[in-house]
Copies of this chain bind each other. A is one copy, B any other.
C-alpha cells in the first residue's frame, strides 16, 4: 500500500511514516537542540521567551505572556527572573565559578547578591553532588528567596580557605510568564493535547529532547487531513500547566487524549506512565504501540509525582493523559546534572522517539469500529484473492496478515474497536488497519466511524472508547 492509497481512504488519516522523513526530522531536531542548548531557561524570563521564539521558525507558535501576580488556580505567577552575570572570584581575582561557562552554576532563581565571604560562609550557598563528584548539579529555588552556586563536588572539596567575592547580578521583578501554544484544527473539535516542559537550562535530555520532538511532530502534522484537532503546549513545568489549565477551563472538556513528553533523548527503552484513570484509550493505545517495538517498552501505573501530568490528572480535571518517557526522571544518573549534555542525546534516539510518538498519534487517528457485513461463518476470502499468495512475501508477514484478516472478521461485531482487537489478538493496530482497509474495499466490512452522520462527529460526550 502506498501513502496515496491511504490518502483516499478513509479521508482523514495520518499517513505511515517513511524512513526518509524520519532521517530528515532527525537532522533538524538535532540542529534545533544544538541551537537551544546554551540558553538559560527558567520558569520565566528571556531564556524561556527566546526558546519559544526560536520554535516559531518551525511552527506558527502563539506566545502567551501572563503578568506576574496573576492568580492561576491555587498559585500566583511569580516575578520574572533574568540574569546578567554571576560568578565567584577568589582573592587573586580569578573567576572560579562562572555562570558564563555553564548556566547550571547558578542556583536557578537566585536573588541578587554581592559581597565577600569566607570559605565556610560561602559553603552555605554551594551545592554539589558527592555521588557524581565530576558533575555540576542543577538546582532551583523558585518560591524560596535564596541565592547559590552549583559546582562539582571535586571542585568544592578543593576550595582553599580564602576571601571570596560573590556577584549574583540577577533581576527578580514584575514581568511575565511566557508559554507557547500551537493549535492544529482537525475535522473534529475533539482534541489531542501534547504538553512539554521547557523551563530547564542547559540540559539536553531533560527536556530539550521532548521539546524538539514535539515541535517537529507539530510541523509534520501541519497540512495533513486530521480527524482530531491537536494542541501542542510548551510550558514551564508546574506553574506553566497550572496557568494554561486556569485560563482554558472551557476548552479542557474537548480533550480526548493527551500526552506529557519528557526525557525522550536517552538510550533507554520506552516507558509510558498511565493516566490517573488507568484504562483510558491513550493508556491502551500507548501500551499496544510499546508492545510492538523492536525492544518492547513498558507501561507503569500512574503516580501523583512526576511532570505536568500531576496537574492534568488532578482530580478536578482527571484528563485521559499519560506521560511518555524513555528512562524515567531520576532513574538515569545524568538526570539534573551537567552530564545531561548534547553528547547524552543522539540523533538516533530522537528519531526513535519521534517515530514512536508519530505512531501513537496515528493509532489514535485510525482507531475505529468496523462491522463485519458477513458475520455468519467466515466469508470465502480465497475467492476474493484476499489471502496474500504464499512464496511471494515474507512468510511471517503473510501469517500476520492472515491472522489480522481473521481477527477483524471475528471481532468486528460493532462492539470492538481496532484497539480492542489489537489487545486481544496481540497484533499491531497498524497491521490490523491495513487488513481492515482491504476488507472494507472488498465490501466485507463497513467502517462504522465513517458512516456516522457528520453531526455525530462533533458530539463529544463519553466517546472515548470509540475514538
Given contacts A144-B382, A249-B376, A314-B378, 6 further A-B contacts (CB under 8 A): A73-B374, A74-B378, A74-B380, A304-B410, A313-B410, A315-B409
The answer to whether A406 touches B305, judged by C-beta atoms less than 8 angstroms apart, is: yes
Given A316-B376, A375-B316, A377-B316; A304-B406 close (CB under 8 Å): yes
The answer to whether B410 touches A315, judged by C-beta atoms less than 8 angstroms apart, is: yes
* Residue of B with least CB distance to A75: B380
User: Which of B73, B143, B379, B425 has a CB less than 8 Å from the CB of A383?
Assistant: B143
Within 8 A of B (CB), among A400-430: 402-403, 406-407, 409-413, 425
User: Which of B75, B378, B425 has a CB less than 8 Å from the CB of A311?
Assistant: B378
The yes or no answer to A274 lying at the interface (CB within 8 A) is no
The answer to whether A403 touches B314, judged by C-beta atoms less than 8 angstroms apart, is: no
The yes or no answer to A51 lying at the interface (CB within 8 A) is no
The answer to whether A242 touches B74, judged by C-beta atoms less than 8 angstroms apart, is: no
Given A143-B383, A382-B143; A407-B304 close (CB under 8 Å): yes
Bound-complex Cα distance A460 to B178 (A): 54
Collect the chain B residues with CB atoms within 8 Å of residue A245's CB.
Answer: 376-377
Within 8 A of B (CB), among A313-341: 313-318
The yes or no answer to A128 lying at the interface (CB within 8 A) is no
Collect the chain B residues with CB atoms within 8 Å of residue A310's CB.
Answer: 378, 406, 410
A10 to chain B: closest CB distance in Å?
Answer: 22
Given A143-B382, A245-B377, A403-B305; A314-B410 close (CB under 8 Å): yes
Collect the chain B residues with CB atoms within 8 Å of residue A378's CB.
Answer: 74, 238, 242, 310-311, 314
Collect the chain B residues with CB atoms within 8 Å of residue A407's CB.
Answer: 303-304
22 pairs, A vs B, C-beta closer than 8 Å = A73-B374, A73-B376, A73-B377, A74-B378, A75-B377, A242-B377, A245-B376, A276-B410, A303-B407, A304-B406, A304-B409, A304-B410, A305-B406, A310-B406, A313-B410, A314-B375, A314-B377, A315-B375, A315-B409, A315-B410, A315-B412, A318-B413
Residue interface bits A49-84, CB-to-B below 8 A is 1, else 0: 000000000000000000000000111000000000
Within 8 A of B (CB), among A352-405: 372, 374-380, 382-383, 402-403
Query: Which of A73, A242, A412 counts the most chain B CB atoms within 10 A?
Result: A73
User: Which of B303, B304, B314 has a CB less than 8 Å from the CB of A376?
Assistant: B314
Collect the chain B residues with CB atoms within 8 Å of residue A238's CB.
Answer: 378
Given A74-B374, A376-B73, A378-B74; A409-B314 close (CB under 8 Å): yes
Collect the chain B residues with CB atoms within 8 Å of residue A316's CB.
Answer: 372, 375-377
User: Which of B318, B379, B411 has a CB less than 8 Å from the CB of A74?
Assistant: B379
Query: Which of A377, A378, A402 counts the most chain B CB atoms within 10 A?
Result: A377
Collect the chain B residues with CB atoms within 8 Å of residue A242's CB.
Answer: 377-378
Collect the chain B residues with CB atoms within 8 Å of residue A382's CB.
Answer: 143-144
Query: Which of A376, A383, A407 counts the most chain B CB atoms within 10 A?
Result: A376
Collect the chain B residues with CB atoms within 8 Å of residue A402's CB.
Answer: 305
* Residue of B with least CB distance to A317: B376
The answer to whether B377 touches A74, judged by C-beta atoms less than 8 angstroms apart, is: yes
* Residue of B with least CB distance to A379: B74
* Residue of B with least CB distance to A305: B406
Collect the chain B residues with CB atoms within 8 Å of residue A249's CB.
Answer: 376
* Residue of B with least CB distance to A242: B377
Residue interface bits A250-289, CB-to-B below 8 A is 1, else 0: 0000000000000000000000000010000000000000
